Structure 1
């Protein structure tokens, strides 16, 4: 998982990065709000951990912007010194999913991160079904409307990744990082070509309950579609 971390205290930022990395995730660190907002304009993350008091803005402002302007649904955790009940209520009402008071207790931080990721990205085993689409990760087999679809290895991985994140915007950068992993020289054109193939092979234009939408300059969103009754 790609996790954005925002804190202007270098020691806290280092601690949060180290903890996220130790859990096997990919931390992306920012020390001011504007830097994070610029990153969010072109990239996507699976979770965000942020402080309240920042040199150029507030964590509350960031959370509201993420929820209202971007419509982002990823989990958000406040890690802050503000400990009043009214602060906690304000943070959660602004759109955060959880709230942790500094000083950071690492074991508690790990537990909270794991719990939030479990809730935000529930893991399923074996065959995964999404409406008329079925994926067997063990056998690399895909079906659509009961019929097998021939997908190459990268196409299968990309399709399953997008279905698991249905409804969420996913940047080209994140797709490259998550699906191509060790192939750092993969360009965004390769990502676009694979997405075009998936749209055709899986008929992702809404007729079977999902449509693949390109979001200009950002990436893609696989949107569930409510099928009308005959």
Structure 2
């Protein structure tokens, strides 16, 4: 097996060719913040929280999709990166309507956790207060666009794991949003299997079980990894 040796924050690590900088950092126990990344789903570098500095590169690179190369020298923590990550979190809060005190995911929200980690105790940017809808047409679940951060976990898990492809991303810029079917009410999409995987992997309170109130949603992405491993074990079992 071919390996590449690189240095991350002064620590040397050898990784198999094809591994990413995020995987290499985690191998060393170095925490790089992420929101869109989730083990078991294809990486898309949507949130841009995992950007790192690479010696000799003129721009920051997303660790979740950047492959390791021999001799790389990488920095995951610097004043520039810390300021950049805080700004990204502030943008996510100010472009949506994230009122944590009344959110179903309060206390169990990855966006909230990342805000604490980057030291965001207030926003330096003005809030936009967009007019966004809530879709309660599904019999079991709800979709609150006010809390969506466009991480696309729901899109990927529905397509890559469940195989239903209920979700997609529509429009551009400030009008960009997650849609069900061909921009239909979620409950009207026949392809939906009611499996709840999209709710399970949502990092915020955007997708939630109906009936949950403040702080009651407990997102558990680890269940996805357990499911995929169980599938692989069954496929590898003798007939």
Larger relative contact order, structure 1 or 2 (CA cutoff 8 Å, min sep 6) = 2
Structure with the higher helix share, 1 or 2: 1
TM-score over 0.5 for the alignment? Answer: no
| TM-score after normalising by structure 2 | 0.29
TM-score (norm 1): 0.30
